[in-house]
Structure 1
Amino acid sequence: MKTDVEELTPTRVKLTVEVPFDELKPNLDKAYKEISQQVRIKGFRPGKVPAPLIDKYVGRGAVLQEAVNDALPELYGRAVEESEIFVLGQPDVEVTELDDGNQFAFTAEVDIRPKFEVPGYDGLEVTVDDAEVGDEQVEETIGNLRERFASLTAASRPIEEGDFATIDLVARIGGEEIEDASTSGYSYEVGSKSAIEGLDDALTGLSAEEDATFTSTLVGGEHAGEEAEITVTVQSVKVKNLPELDDDFAQMASEFDTIDELREDVRTRLGRQVKLQQISDARDKALEALLEKIDIPLPDTVVEEEVKRREQQLEQQLQMAGLSKADYLKEEEKSEEDFDTEVAVAARQAVKGGFVLDQLAVQEELGVENEELSEYVVTQAMQMGVQPQQLAEYLTENNQLPAIVSEVLRNKALNLLVEHVTVKDESGNAIDVEAVRRELNGETGETVEAVEDDAEAETAESTETAETSETPETSETAETAETAETETEAAEVDKPAEATAEAAEETPKKDA
């Protein structure tokens, strides 16, 4: 087999492959055998039809096509291996010659990872935030926990901001009620601005059994974006009462006996979070600093795929949140053009980061051990809430192991990079990232990687207040939590560069 490589661009090549016809013999034999099982010719059992009869009744062309389709994946793979190129995605294959009995030839155009060397990275310096936990952060976290244990008491006065009202909403357009924009028995915190625009103003000053009508734009359903006349009727008004910050609260909200012990635990948890954030920021900024030193071309198709992936991911997240893209852009105060530009820039940076980490792994001769793959699968399974064996089987059956190996390898390359970068906090103190990792691992016996998603689960929790019963004199308590949970922003640790380019080698299949 002879293979020539033509560089079309720095990120795309054309392979021209010539194959002696004799090399197709195993594939031809296989094709005759399979076709023999399918055809029905009088006097011959399935699988026993001679080749000449298949040529006569089915056609030699059909046999050749079957043989070529069977041979192409292996021949393409051999050509790629011999050419020592790193292909990206599926190739465009064209059979250029099929001389029966003499020669077979084809071409394959495919994107490749650009060839480059990662420059020296010793001496790079990055700055991260100080790992400080102030009293204000502690009290804010305690306050959020306190909100979760608030009680609601029925009130006979008009509604004020911060009250909870049980309301009925009826939306009408042209006098006709819009069912998917109407509801009853809805518990709403007045002043939260979390529902229809204008609802807070309409409710303020109303008492139980009173109503008000206002005009607003619907944000969801079939009539999203249309203006509707909305009538809100108040069923009841409830006042939120916060528990005292004392030892009784600590015992109710956590496993601690005193409020001082609870505060100290919150401070410890917050301290762990800011250190996790430091490590995450160090990794991100170390890669950013290295990328600034490297200028490489990027395959347009790979970048476009990354842009699509990000857009699909956002769409899924918005669907889960019950928001439209227009709502999201309005909240973020971004235009469609600005959003598209940001996504495109982030996609290019992510693809570039993946290429650089891949090349760094090659230059440093990094590898992936079976134990590292097993650890990765176990960690992912824990985060997904499935059995490790179940996840391993899924990854194997769906040919996802090459992508997992790539992800683990990039992680190792990024860790190596951080080890050679000088990391300082804003106060000028040097940070030994590896020492911080060991410290965090030693605190609980867990690895930083495993703790990462547990930390995320504890963050950004909205304050939850239980709905009260309809008895106006009673006081209800919000849902209890077994332990105090911190509400800080979690760090993302040991994640490879976000949305890096996937370079799985796809085998082609092309009709002759």
Structure 2
Amino acid sequence: MKITQDDVVDRQTTLHIELEDDDLAPYLDRSYRKLAQQVSIPGFRKGKAPRRVVESFVGRESLIHDSLDDMLPDITQRAITNQDIEAAGTPNVELVEFDPVTVKATVPLVPEVDLGAYKDIRVDETPVEITTDDVDGKLGELQDQASSWEPVEREVAAGDMTTMDVKGHVEDDYILNNEDAVYVVDSESALPFAGFADQLVGMEVGVEKEFTLKVPDDHTDNRFAGQDVHISVTVKDLKERLRPELDDEFAKTVGDGHDTLAELRESTEQEMTTQAEEAQASQYRESVLDALVAGGTFEVPPMLIDHEVEHMVDRRDRFVERLEVSMDDYLRYTGKSDDEMKVEMREHAMERFTRSYALSNLAEAESLEIPDEEIDERIKELEAAREEQKDAPEDQSDVDLNSEAARVSIRESLLVSKSLDRLVSIAKGEETAEEPKAGDVAPEEGGDTDNAES
């Protein structure tokens, strides 16, 4: 096998691989044995014709073509290993000649990453504060959930539930056409259009009202975006919300029950604080990761991005197929063209790769590792969770968590988490260096400091 390698450009390199007869022999032999069972050659029973006869009958190119699926990945991997290349993804491989058999393989290399002065990253934390108004608002939501709707005879007021017939058209095209539509009058809602709820306030049951609103510029159907929509509404039924009193009796009905309203308020505040702290911690991790990426430089092979976009397009197409809608209708609903969606996919792919390689390089720079004991512990946790959910519809109990592939996946997941933990410590200005071991002696002032790193 003769290999020549082009220069590395954009973290990609191309291998030109010329195969000799000894390289081809095992693949052509397998192809011969398969074809010998399939073709009928005069004078021979199937599978009994010698290779030279089969090759003469079907042609050498047919044998080569039949062997490509096995041959191309094998010889490409051999060439990559031979050239000591650290590939970051699947190569693009093509057969360029039959005589001699020559293969061209373009290989994406591991991205070039420079994290810059990542130890200088500092990100301020946003303190979590739950106010009395926040708690009151949550208690109001609990009241709403426990409320009932009762018919009322009066004009429509904010907060009411209406049943209505509503039509809306932009020129000759109807954008709304619903009978007996149920709608809660919420002035903060932008549905179906901003200002719709305000137009209902003061209406009388059974009296039609006509008005005009503006379709938002980002409407999912480009035909209507930014246009005037002419609306007619007839309220047919009206109900008001009856909320329970916010007292001790109400507190006893919430969750597992609370003896007093004060206890409900306290537990609500604790729950909101916990949720806010978890959300803040998650947002902080995102912020420090953004800072890490922003301070680094990344040279990612275009092939990696191209392949990821292809996967994303495939997932999108299968999703649309499951929806049983045409691609044109789906694109019209999203308000984007196919090209615009692919541009967004490319941006998302680049973001995913830069984040992933930023964390993997951080782990290497900080000498972070995942010992087998941590993987074993995580497997125990996953098995316990699986046992609790074994009757769930999406049960995955057939996955062997101790398989090599599963352990590799778990190790990668744990390493990402550990890398983020270290990055958070750095961003908070916390000490990340290991504590001195017993017996270690600090260098004297003015002495040898070669091994004294803070």
Q: TM-score, normalised by structure 1?
A: 0.65
Deviations 1:239-262 (CA, angstroms, capped at 9, x unpaired): 223222112222223212222222
Deviations 1:153-210 (CA, angstroms, capped at 9, x unpaired): 222111122222111123467789x5x8322222212233422455334422222222
Q: Give the corresponding residue for 1:58.
A: 58
Per mean C-alpha deviation after superposition, the further-off stretch among 371-380 and 20-29 is: 371-380
Question: What are the residue-to-residue correspondences of 1:202-351 with 2, within 5 Å?
Answer: 202-216=199-213, 224-225=224-225, 229-257=230-258, 258-303=260-305, 347-351=349-353
- Letter of the 1:237 partner, please give it: L
Question: Larger relative contact order (C-alpha < 8 A, sep ≥ 6)?
Answer: 1
Matched-pair contact (CA < 8 Å) for 1:126–1:421: no
Matched-pair contact (CA < 8 Å) for 2:220–2:335: no
Q: Give the corresponding residue for 1:438.
A: none
Deviations 1:259-283 (CA, angstroms, capped at 9, x unpaired): 2222222222222223323432342
Query: Deviation of residue 34 (structure 1)?
Result: 0.8
Cα RMSD (Å): 4.6
Q: Give the corresponding residue for 1:437.
A: none
Question: What are the residue-to-residue correspondences of 1:164-179 with 2, within 5 Å?
Answer: 164-171=161-168, 178=174
The DSSP-based 3-state class of the residue aligned with 2:353 is helix
Q: Is residue 366 of structure 1 aligned with residue 363 of structure 2?
A: no
In the alignment, the residues of structure 1 paired with residue 16 and residue 428 of structure 2 have an alpha-carbon distance, to the nearest angstrom, of 49
In the alignment, the residues of structure 2 paired with residue 28 and residue 345 of structure 1 have an alpha-carbon distance, to the nearest angstrom, of 43
Per mean C-alpha deviation after superposition, the further-off stretch among 52-61 and 164-173 is: 164-173
Q: Give the corresponding residue for 1:454.
A: none
Query: Deviation of residue 228 (structure 1)?
Result: 5.4
Matched-pair contact (CA < 8 Å) for 1:377–1:388: no
Q: Give the corresponding residue for 2:439.
A: none
Q: Give the corresponding residue for 1:156.
A: 153
Matched-pair contact (CA < 8 Å) for 1:165–1:237: yes
Matched-pair contact (CA < 8 Å) for 1:360–1:413: no
In the alignment, the residues of structure 2 paired with residue 36 and residue 153 of structure 1 have an alpha-carbon distance, to the nearest angstrom, of 82
> Runs of 5+ in structure 2 lacking a partner?
433-454
Query: Deviation of residue 420 (structure 1)?
Result: 4.7
Matched-pair contact (CA < 8 Å) for 2:211–2:230: yes
Q: Sequence identity of aligned pairs in percent?
A: 23
Deviations 1:278-317 (CA, angstroms, capped at 9, x unpaired): 4323422332333344223233344456678789999979
Deviations 1:385-406 (CA, angstroms, capped at 9, x unpaired): 621225x38xx9xxx9699468
Per mean C-alpha deviation after superposition, the further-off stretch among 7-16 and 283-292 is: 283-292
Matched-pair contact (CA < 8 Å) for 1:166–1:187: yes
- Letter of the 2:293 partner, please give it: L
In the alignment, the residues of structure 1 paired with residue 68 and residue 333 of structure 2 have an alpha-carbon distance, to the nearest angstrom, of 52
Matched-pair contact (CA < 8 Å) for 2:170–2:224: no
Q: Give the corresponding residue for 2:67.
A: 67
Deviations 1:368-419 (CA, angstroms, capped at 9, x unpaired): 85644786698799699621225x38xx9xxx96994685265245235336
Give the greater-gyration-radius structure (CA): 2
Matched-pair contact (CA < 8 Å) for 1:168–1:185: yes
Closer/same/farther in 2, CA of residues 33 and 407 from structure 1, 3 Å limit: same
Q: TM-score, normalised by structure 2?
A: 0.73
- Letter of the 2:369 partner, please give it: L
> Runs of 5+ in structure 1 lacking a partner?
331-336, 425-429, 433-512
The DSSP-based 3-state class of the residue aligned with 1:194 is coil
Q: Give the corresponding residue for 2:419.
A: 414
- Letter of the 1:414 partner, please give it: S
Closer/same/farther in 2, CA of residues 239 and 125 from structure 1, 3 Å limit: same
Deviations 1:293-347 (CA, angstroms, capped at 9, x unpaired): 4223233344456678789999979x99x998899889xxxxxx99999887665
- Letter of the 2:144 partner, please give it: E
The DSSP-based 3-state class of the residue aligned with 2:397 is helix
Q: Give the corresponding residue for 1:187.
A: 182
